[in-house]
């Protein structure tokens, strides 16, 4: 009984310490190799108080297994690399969200679907093992926030009971706060926000597709979206967290990001457009009590983990957007 009371007391103190704090985070990409130097000095210089780590698993479309923590995966996606990343981040006093994700080659989690109940159950059993593996690490290292899934648009709509059961199971393992990362066009259809601590949204709303929209025009474009986000947050009586947000540093980056990604290497670099996008996002939401903050996508530790187009990628490192990010993060 004493042990149970001690654990309960720890959890209460743990959650109370988080309440009311704005999350100013960076998603730190899992590196392919161990760190050559401490990458969190640069994170602190950007005025971030939070980081997000993303250990990936893999599911092929139509298959029912989630593969993870394999020897051929990048160092930062495996136990040893993740734990070392956690330890270093904690040495800098950074708070942490762990956000395990599933990569689907040639597809995306939003399209995950099975025709038979047996296939659904097989995949769900595999996903449960995957997510609980990371939840146990999150609890062992007392991480503040855990994301139970990312952008499973069809699954969350069709398999609500599974997700509710999964949340209950995770809470038996993990003591911190929970969220789910809904795609920007999915968050209103997720039925289990009442079982979580934050409404999580991957915030890639298409605003304006012109080459370099002004901050003023972007603020106007945000208005109807902000109105809906605010109303939804209030209807669920929960803060809304941007589990991902960010802009490529190319022409038109405030438009349809998912289309730009397909041709990013051929699209002209435009750091000002990226900076304008971030400024408009922070100006729109920064003073709203219903907004919990969020995690910028993405940040390359020691310059590792990129796909070969850093000057055009989402990272603000060594770009105009870094000063924009730092300006707002320093205020929180």
Query: pLDDT (tens digit, 9 = 90+) per residue, 221-249?
Result: 999 999 999 999 999 999 999 999 999 99
* Pairwise CA distance, residues 108 & 275, whole Å: 28
Query: Could you tell me the pLDDT band of residue 49, with boundaries at 50, 70 and 90?
Result: very high
- Residue 100: is its pLDDT beyond 90? yes
Q: Comparing 16-20, 117-121, 148-152, 161-165, which segment has the lowest mean pLDDT?
A: 16-20
Tokens 């405030």 locate to: 254
- C-alpha Rg value of the chain to the nearest Å: 19
Q: What does the pLDDT read at residue 195?
A: 98
Q: What does the pLDDT read at residue 20?
A: 56
Which pair of structure tokens corresponds to residue 54?
């993303």
- Number of Cα atoms under 13 Å in the Cβ half of residue 100: 25
Proportion of the chain above pLDDT 70, given as a percent: 94
pTM of the model: 0.94
> Residue 242's CB: how many other CB atoms inside 10 A?
26
* Pairwise CA distance, residues 54 & 110, whole Å: 18
Average pLDDT over residues 32-47: 97
Cα three-residue angle 259-291-314, rounded to 5 degrees: 30
- Residue 285: is its pLDDT beyond 90? yes
What does residue 250 show for φ and ψ, rounded to 5 degrees?
-140, 165
Q: What does the pLDDT read at residue 124?
A: 98
Average pLDDT over residues 153-170: 98
- The β-bridge partners of 201 are 182, 242
Q: What does the pLDDT read at residue 332?
A: 85
Proportion of the chain above pLDDT 90, given as a percent: 93
Torsion (CA) 25, 31, 36, 37 in degrees, nearest 10 = 10
Q: Comparing 13-17, 70-74, 155-159, which segment has the lowest mean pLDDT?
A: 13-17
> Residue 226's CB: how many other CB atoms inside 10 A?
17
- Classify domain 22-329 at the CATH topology level: TIM Barrel (3.20.20)
- Residue 46: is its pLDDT beyond 70? yes
Q: What does the pLDDT read at residue 57?
A: 98
Structural domain spans, the chain: 22-329
Are the beta carbons of 166 and 131 closer than 8 angstroms?
yes
């Amino acid at each position: 009984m004493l042990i149970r009371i001690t654990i309960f007391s720890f959890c209460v103190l743990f959650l109370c310490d988080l309440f009311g704090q704005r999350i100013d985070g960076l998603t730190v990409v899992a590196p392919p190799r161990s760190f050559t130097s401490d990458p969190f000095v640069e994170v602190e210089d950007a005025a971030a108080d939070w980081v997000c780590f993303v250990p990936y698993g893999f599911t092929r479309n139509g298959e029912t297994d989630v593969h993870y923590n394999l020897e051929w995966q990048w160092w930062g996606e495996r136990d040893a690399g993740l734990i070392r990343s956690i330890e270093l981040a904690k040495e800098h006093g950074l708070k942490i969200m762990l956000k395990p994700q599933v990569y689907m080659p040639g597809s995306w989690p939003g399209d995950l679907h099975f025709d038979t109940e047996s296939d659904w159950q097989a995949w769900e059993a595999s996903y449960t093992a995957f997510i609980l593996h990371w939840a146990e690490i999150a609890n062992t290292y007392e991480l503040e926030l855990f994301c139970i899934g990312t952008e499973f648009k069809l699954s969350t709509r069709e398999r609500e009971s599974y997700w509710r059961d999964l949340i209950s199971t995770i809470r038996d393992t993990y003591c911190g706060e929970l969220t789910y990362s809904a795609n920007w066009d999915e968050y209103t259809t997720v039925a289990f926000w009442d079982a979580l601590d934050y409404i999580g949204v991957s915030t890639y709303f298409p605003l304006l597709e012109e080459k370099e929209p002004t901050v003023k025009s972007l603020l106007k474009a945000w208005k109807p979206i902000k109105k809906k986000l605010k109303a939804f947050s209030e209807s669920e009586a929960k803060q809304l967290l941007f589990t991902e947000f960010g802009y490529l540093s190319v022409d038109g980056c405030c438009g349809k990001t998912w289309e730009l990604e397909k041709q990013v290497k051929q699209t002209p670099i435009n750091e000002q457009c990226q900076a304008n996008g971030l400024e408009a996002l922070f100006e729109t939401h920064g003073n709203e009590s219903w907004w919990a903050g969020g995690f910028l996508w993405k940040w390359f530790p020691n310059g590792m983990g990129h796909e070969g187009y850093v000057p055009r990628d989402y990272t603000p490192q060594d770009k105009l957007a870094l000063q924009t990010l730092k300006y707002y993060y320093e205020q929180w």
